[in-house]
Amino acid sequence: MSVNKESKPTTVSLADEEGVKRILIDTIFGLWATVNNLTRLQPSKRERYRVTVFGSERTQPGHWVYQEVKQKCAALSAMGCDIVTGGGSGLMQAANEGAQEAGAAERVQSIGIRVELPFEQTVNPFVEQAFEHQTFFTRLHQFVLMSDAFIVAPGGIGTVLESTMIWQLLQVRHLHDTPLIFTGQMWKGLVDWATQMMLRPGFELASAEDMKIPRCVDNAEQAIAIVREHRARWQIAQGKRT
């Protein structure tokens, strides 16, 4: 004797609120799964080495940190690195400005990845290629997909969000051999706090190795040295001349 299994209806009335909700939820999760699957596709070789710089939107030209970030990114560009930022003002603009003004022998790109916000946001004038996102989640995903190294300049809550996400992805090995470089005392203070609070004996919330993931440096020269060493290894892996 055969038993007829209950089948799902082919259509759902808009009056069926629960049915509509189920379809929307299933569709959204299906789209996420599709996008995640597509982002697994990576080129066998990458043509360009890209450094993402995170930092405050509030630091204005003329401030010594602005000048330091600008000079640091000019040096990275002269080395042949593309510069990627959030595309806004402040230290993001400093990084893009340094990239554009470097006059590198090898043509480099100055890239900005923006996010739509309720208050007015514009791409800084030194961005050559801009991407726009409606959510922080997709924007952060693009930073991850296109970057070979991350440098964190002084910044606020947004910078904390970006840098700690990269920290976690390195911790769980969703990112591999990707430098995360914290510049300045404020970030050393964050790592010291995390070490003190998360490694308390008997109440460990992380491992000692996790605290070694960010490379804390005092100045631009130290950050550049780390990128230079990593880029040299990257060039060998890509079969390029160093």
* Cα→Cα distances 226→51, 202, 233, Å: 12, 35, 11
pLDDT digits (tens, 9 = 90+) for 192-224: 999 999 999 999 999 999 999 999 999 999 999
Mean pLDDT of all residues in 171-191: 96
Burial class of residue 45 in the structure, from the number of CB atoms within 10 Å of its CB (0-12 exposed, 13-18 middle, 19+ buried): exposed
pLDDT value for 45: 67
pLDDT value for 8: 59
Mean pLDDT of all residues in 156-163: 96
Question: Looking at the predicted structure, is the pLDDT value of residue 120 above 80?
Answer: no
For 127, which DSSP code? -
Distance CA 60, CA 63 (A): 6
Among 131, 145, 186, 137, smallest CA distance to 162 is for 137
More confident residue, 108 or 145: 145
The number of residues making up the chain comes to: 242
Question: Looking at the predicted structure, is the pLDDT value of residue 81 above 80?
Answer: yes
Q: What is the pTM of this model?
A: 0.86
pLDDT value for 231: 97
More confident residue, 140 or 10: 140
Beta strands in the chain (DSSP E): 49-54, 81-85, 110-115, 129-133, 149-152, 180-183, 199-200, 203-204, 215-217
Among 220, 218, 235, 232, smallest CA distance to 73 is for 220
Cβ atoms 75, 99 nearer than 8 A? no
Residues of the chain with pLDDT > 70: what percent?
A: 90
Question: Looking at the predicted structure, is the pLDDT value of residue 7 above 70?
Answer: no
Residues of the chain with pLDDT > 90: what percent?
A: 69
pLDDT value for 1: 45
Confidence of residue 104 (pLDDT cuts 50, 70, 90): low
Write out the two tokens for 37. Answer: 């699957």
Write out the two tokens for 191. Answer: 């790592």
Per-residue exposure over 129-165, b if at least 16 CB sit within 10 Å of its own CB, e if not: eebeeeeeeebbbbbbebbbbbbbbbbeebbeebbbb
Confidence of residue 28 (pLDDT cuts 50, 70, 90): confident
Question: Looking at the predicted structure, is the pLDDT value of residue 134 above 60?
Answer: yes
Distance CA 19, CA 13 (A): 8
